[in-house]
Every structure is written in C-alpha cells, then in structure tokens.
Amino acid sequence: MGSIGNWEQVVTEKRTLRDKSLKPYMVSNLDKRGPRVDNVQERSRLDDPIAQKITDIDSIPTLLEQLRAGKYTAEQVTHAYIRRAVVAHQLTNAITETVFDDALSQARKLDRYFQKTGELQGPLHGIPVSLKDQFNLKGVDTTFGYVGRAFAPATEDAVIVQILKEMGAVVLLKTNLPQTLMWAETDNNLWGRTVNPRNPDLIPGGSSGGEGALAVLHGSILGMGTDIGGSIRIPGSMIGVYAFKPTSSRYPAIGVPGPTEGQEHVHFSSGPLTRDMESLCYVSRLVANSEPWEFDPKCAPLPWNESVFQEMQTRPLVIGLILDDGVVKVHPPIERALLELAHKLKDQGHEVITWDTSYHHDCVKLMDQYYVADGFEDVLRDINASGEPMIPHVQGLADRAKGKALSVYEYWQVNKKKIALRQKYLSRWNQTRSPSGKPVDVLLGPTTAHTAVPHHKLRWVGYTKVWNLLDYPAVSFPVDEVRKEVDVQPNGYQPRNDLDAWNWEIYDPHVMNGHPVSLQVIGKTLNDEKVLGAATIIEKIWKGEN
C-alpha cells in the first residue's frame, strides 16, 4: 500500500467483509428510530421479546443468576446480544470486527456443559464481551484505526481475553476507536466515525468510543477498553455508562499493543465499561483474583482485597472535592451535580473538603510532552505504511511535534519532572487532613468539563489525563443529566484563558439538554478496591438508596 487508490481499496475490502457478517442480523426502518435523549436504549429495541428481556438486564451478576436458574441458555444470550449489537452499530457505526460464528459455537459448548453438570462453567459463564479494537483476538486484525495495519490478524488472544474466556465469557466483536487511539473522539479512515447514540451531531467520546456507544444501546453488557488519557472514562462520561480505569498494573497488558509501544513513562490501563456499578466491581474482583501477574510480569501481585472494598461502604469517608482544575471551569450542570452530591454526602455523615488542584496543569503539560516525545515517528510510520491522510486531530499533533524528537537526555529530564510531580502529589494527599483530623480516602470530581460536544470541538481532557500521569485508579459513573431550565448560561462570566473561553463558547444547554452528567471517584495508586467501594456507596447516596 502506498497510493491513495490502494488505501481506499483496503478500506472498501475491510468494510465489505464486516458488513457481510452483520447483514443477517440487520433490521430495516431504523430511520423511524430518530435521535432521543430519554431512554436512549429504546432506539435499539428488538422485536423478539425474549431477546429484548435478556439484553435489558444491566447487571452481570443478575444475568448469571438467570443462566444458573436455566431461564436462558448461553446461546440465547449470545444470539440476543449479537442482534442488539448490530442494531446499535446501525445507529452509531460502533463495530469493526465480528466473530459471531465462534461466539455461538462457544455458547453451545457452555450449554452442553451446563446440561451435563447443572453448573456454570466459570464466573462469567455465557456473558457476552465486546473488545475495543486494541485488544488482540486470535485471527482478527488489531489496527488502532490505521489502514496500514489491516489484514494482519493476531496470532493469539490478549492475556485479558484469555482470562475472560477461561471464566466462561463469550467474545462477540471488536469496536471502533480513533486513528492512533490518541484522542477523545472516535474517527478514522478505515472504519469511519462513531456517533453519539442520543445525537449523531455529537461525539461519543474516545478513544473507547465504540465501546461506550454499544453499551448504552444495550449492545454490550461487558466491554473492555483502554485508557492513557481518559479513553475509558471520557466515553463513559459522554455516553452515560460506568467506566473504570484501574491502576495500570492491576489488569494485564500483554497482547494489548498500542501507539508508541515500548515507552515506559506512562502506561495505559485496560478496564471495563458496564451498565451498572455492581458489574464494574464484579469483573474487577474476578480479574484481580485470576492472578494476572502469573501471565504479565508488569502486573502487581495483589489479589482483590474484599475487606477494604467493604470497609469503604460501612464507615464515614473523607472525600476531597474537585470543583475546578484551575484551567477550564466545568459547565453548570456538572458543577450543580457536584455540589448537590457533596451536600448529600455531608448529610450522611461523610466529610467533604475542598481539594487543591494547583499541580494539575503541570501534570497535563507533562503528558502533552510525552505524547510527541518521539517527534511523532511512531505514528508517521503507521500513517505512511498505507499513504492514508491523518484525521484533523492527528494532523494537529504532528504539526506540534514538528518531527523533533526529544534527545535521550531531554527525555530523562521530563521523566524526572514526572517523578517529582508524583512525589509532590502523594505528599499533598498524605499531609491533607479533614477538620476532624482524618486523612483523605478518595477524591470526587468531574470526569470532563462538559457533556457530549459536537464533532471536532473537544479540546480539554485535563480532568482525566492527570490521573494517568499519576497512575491513580478512577471510576466514572453517571449521576444526572443536563436540564436546560436549570443549567442556564451564566451571565458575565469572564474566561480565564483561551481554553476556558472555548469551553464556554460550546456550552449550549438546549443542544445538551438531557445528555448525561458523569463524575469520577479517584484514589491513590493500587487503591482500586478503595475507589470502587467508595464509588459504590457514593452512588447509593446520590440515588437515596443508603
């Protein structure tokens, strides 16, 4: 490949193969299922009442109970999710690759085992899984949205895929991401653009945008994404699903290649996207207890700590509240949700204190240096392999890099700054005390400065990126929605910088009305159980269930 004609031909061939696999499950008259913000999952409704009931179950443990009781077979569940995933794709362009025949074959094997023994074959028996394109799946391409990586199938499954399959999970398909993975929108020349299910003029987030779009339309009950700047949490926020970025060493990374592969300055995290908090916790518990460190030497040898997870739900917490990162002020609905939640937490006996974010901009600027540390050589090699053009954001990164890589010495100096920032942040956390003298358990803040925005309009991901530099676990979860009558444009606000001005120029409560507002809970490195336990009780308090 090298000419325009050649790369376009590859695109045509790849899309034709995908569409052929989808065709038996496609439905007609989708033009009648126009954009909607309320009950968006109704857009992907199936005409089969049993398949509809199966895919309307949000909780993985609940679906497992139905399988254990014999109410549904693994084949029924697999078939139902294939059908709904395809409808979701027709609405959003979320799917890149499929393995439907293999999935149905695996489901039948699980059913035979259940019929013979009366037991489920593993703690994820029959649970359908979708994978971001980045995860290796034997016999299937892993492209990162590059045309030049097409028709080069993986020779074995990623370690996390092996673990999930060993537990009985059934992999159905792979989903879309942006060219290079290095942005929070979902668009590339190979597969095209994935759109927001509530409004196709808005983004679904990225880079795990295909996973987010599929999940909210009930085309997936368990999706696996990756995150090196917010790529799991931002789709979770824009779409309104549950998204967990673990500490990078808690989930295995072998078989999950990425751009700038080989760099050691900031590791990406693999993690789940689900439709409820219980499922995030359930899957993370299973992965930690699968001893992934026996398969990936970078994994921390830490089994799941259930006592810590439960403790966070049974005692008063000290929560650091992030309202503003000092660079871009969040939009009114996000600030409203944060303040309302802080009030509810205080009413339940938790201490909420203002968190100092003065180190955040330095963290973000350092991350931006890392993204182009090689002068963009890694990306350019993949782009030039096919001769395809860069999408606008990637072109912007290339222009910023100017082909100038850091020298080894300069790179070392950036790493020293990272180490110093991590130390300063940890010291601040450890030295901070609540009015009662207790240490901070977790932080609570925005996932993004805004809800879903128009395509090519996203510019600031500082509320997520900082936690990647620090390697802190963070979970994003939906709490509310934009209410145009309440969340009005403030009068007389004076932006503090160009980025802040951009953020307020794109705020339109009428366009964003009804779109989900998400927040995130953050903890220190390797405190994943603390984060998920705290998020569990915080969500219950928000919903009035505690």
Query: Residue 492 carries which side chain, given as an amino acid letter?
Result: G
- Please report the pLDDT score of residue 3 as a whole number: 43
Among 20-34, 39-53, 160-174, 261-275, name the one with the lowest average pLDDT. 20-34
Cβ pair 303, 288 in contact under 8 A: yes
Q: What is the pLDDT of residues 307-318, one digit of tens each?
A: 999 999 999 999
HEC string of 413-439 equals HHHHHHHHHHHHHHHHHHHCECCCCCE
Give the ranges where 244-331 is alpha helix by DSSP (H): 277-288, 306-311
Does 207 show up as a binding residue in the annotation?
yes
pLDDT tens digits for 374-433? 999 999 999 999 999 999 999 999 999 999 999 999 999 999 999 999 999 999 999 999
pTM above 0.95, yes or no: yes
Query: Is 4 annotated as belonging to a binding site?
Result: no
Strands of the 516-522 sheet, one edge to the other: 95-98, 170-175, 128-132, 223-227, 269-274, 242-245, 474-481, 516-522, 442-446, 318-321, 351-354
Query: Could you give the C-alpha distances from 212 to 86, 112, 332, in angstroms and in order?
Result: 14, 32, 24
For the chain, the domains span 1-31+40-257+267-304
Position 1 pLDDT exceeds 90: no
pLDDT in tens, 86-136: 999 999 999 999 999 999 999 999 999 999 999 999 999 999 999 999 999
Write the pLDDT tens digit of every residue in 137-153: 999 999 999 999 999 99
CA 476 to chain centre: 9
Q: How confident is the model at residue 34 (pLDDT cuts 50, 70, 90)?
A: confident
Provide the mean pLDDT of the chain. Answer: 97
Residue 522 has pLDDT above 90, yes or no: yes
Does 181 carry a binding-site annotation? yes
Alpha carbon distance 191, 171 (integer Å): 20
| Residue 449 confidence (pLDDT) | 99
Question: pLDDT at position 439, please?
Answer: 99
Where do we find the tokens 């997936």?
A: 220
Confidence at residue 5, expressed as pLDDT on a 0 to 100 scale:
61
230 annotated ligand-binding residue: yes
Positions annotated as catalytic residues are 132, 207, 231
State the virtual CA torsion across 426, 428, 429, 431 in degrees, nearest 10.
120
Q: Band of the pLDDT at 2, cuts 50, 70, 90?
A: very low
User: What CATH number was assigned to the domain covering residues 1-31+40-257+267-304?
Assistant: 3.90.1300.10
